[in-house]
Amino acid sequence: MISLSPLLIVCLSVKASTLPLSAHKREDINLDSAPTGNWKWRETDTVFSFGDSYTYESFNVTTEESGGTASNGPNWVQYLTETYNVSNPIHRWNVAYAGAVIDNDVITPYTPSVKSIKDQVEEFETYAASGSYWDAEKSLCSVWIGINDIGFNYAWKNVSIPEFYRSEIENLHSLLTRVSNLDACRAFLFITVPPLGSVPLYLSQGAEVSSSIDYATEVWNAALKEMASRFEDELNETWVGVFDSGRVFNTIIENGEALGYTNVTGYNPVYPIQYGVKQDGNNSQIEPFLPTSSYLWQDSLHPTWPIHNILAHSIATFLGAVHVV
């Protein structure tokens, strides 16, 4: 008899749309921090998101309308707030920007127009000062950052990667303290960087590069978890959680065939990302190639929209377990 892990069951449930969230027991959920405060996912009506292209949705902060993503369909935060939300509707305010790093003054982005986490926080401070109202008790702040920070410097030889990443994460800590000082939310969700050594961009460069960036990713995630623990200790009545995205990606990669992903190591260039063009996530196919939903990767760095769906489902289960006895 084949035994399926709880996370694989989550993945299969999204692919087949057969298993409800309630089917997952609390002991299946790996919470990285004990519940603090009274925040509950089921009562959440506002989500603020900071991050890079994995979270980016061409969000217009003036009109609060969304555009394209890096998945050619909905991304994880859209699925989380529109498909796996409990409170309906959830107001989403997303300043994530494609290519973002924590601070452009520390790491030069691929183009000067990229809005770093520092820029995003400043934008949020302006929004908060505008007189906009939301209930902090029913609000969640999500942060998914590090993919570009690591990608730009994992091969550096003239610095200590652990020390540099601790400095980077401490900068992130300072920026998010500014957010918490605005009494923005009673919950912070951090998402770890996925296993970059399995991403086509780095996997295609050979075992040495793959191993090197995997090491850098582990160092980054360890520093992130340590900071998140301190951050929660510093805050009053606020829950801080760390969701391990690597568990999701590794489960899909290791069980790709069973989940219906025929290629988990490469991507198909006939399905390019259409930045700025809003896509509904409907499956499509250009013969003689397989449908877009058969691929894990949309391009050399970004996952397809079905993967974002799985991520959102797993994150919703993670969040739903907070304060559930």
Residue 284, pLDDT score: 85
CA 97 to chain centre: 12
Cβ(31)–Cβ(321) under 8 Å? yes
The predicted pLDDT at position 129 comes to: 79
**Could you tell me the pLDDT band of residue 36, with boundaries at 50, 70 and 90?**
low
Mean pLDDT of 69-96: 94
- Whether the pLDDT of residue 32 is over 60: the answer is no
Average pLDDT over residues 8-35: 40
Is residue 15 scored above 80 in pLDDT?
no
- Whole-number percent of the chain with pLDDT over 70: 88
Looking at the DSSP bridge assignments, the partners of residue 142 are: 49, 189
Max mean pLDDT among 58-67, 99-108, 264-273 falls in 99-108
Residue 139 bridge partners (DSSP): 46
CA dist., res. 163 & res. 255, Å (int): 35
Give the global pTM.
0.89
pLDDT at residue 203, rounded to an integer: 97
Q: What is the pLDDT of residue 323?
A: 75
Q: Which SS3 state, helix, strand or coil, does residue 321 take?
A: coil
Whether 29 shows a pLDDT value over 50: the answer reads no
Average pLDDT, the chain: 88
Give the model's pLDDT for residue 7.
53
Nearest to 147 by CA among 312, 307, 301, 297: 301
Q: How far is CA 40 from CA 85, 86, 114, 163, 291, in A?
A: 12, 10, 33, 35, 38
The C-alpha atoms of residue 234 and residue 240 are separated, in whole angstroms, by: 11
Between CA 324 and CA 63 the distance in angstroms is: 36
Note the pLDDT of residue 199: 97
Pick the most confident of 58-62, 247-251, 286-290: 247-251
What is the reported pLDDT for 324?
64
Mean pLDDT lowest among 9-13, 59-63, 225-229, 308-312: 9-13
Structure tokens at 250: 């590794």
Helix (H, G, I), strand (E, B) or coil at 196: helix
Using the predicted structure, report yes or no on whether residue 194 has a pLDDT greater than 50: yes
Q: What is the pLDDT of residues 252-301, one digit of tens each?
A: 999 999 999 999 999 988 888 877 677 777 788 999 888 989 999 999 99
| Angle separating helix axes 117-129 and 161-181, nearest 10 degrees | 10
1 or 102, which is more confident: 102
Contact call for residues 200 and 267 (beta carbons, < 8 A):
yes
CA angle 148, 149, 151 (to 5 degrees): 60
Would you say residue 164 has pLDDT above 90? yes
Mean of pLDDT values over 43-56: 97
User: Would you say residue 8 has pLDDT above 70?
Assistant: no
Average pLDDT rounded to a whole number, residues 195-215: 97
CATH number of 6-320: 3.40.50.1110
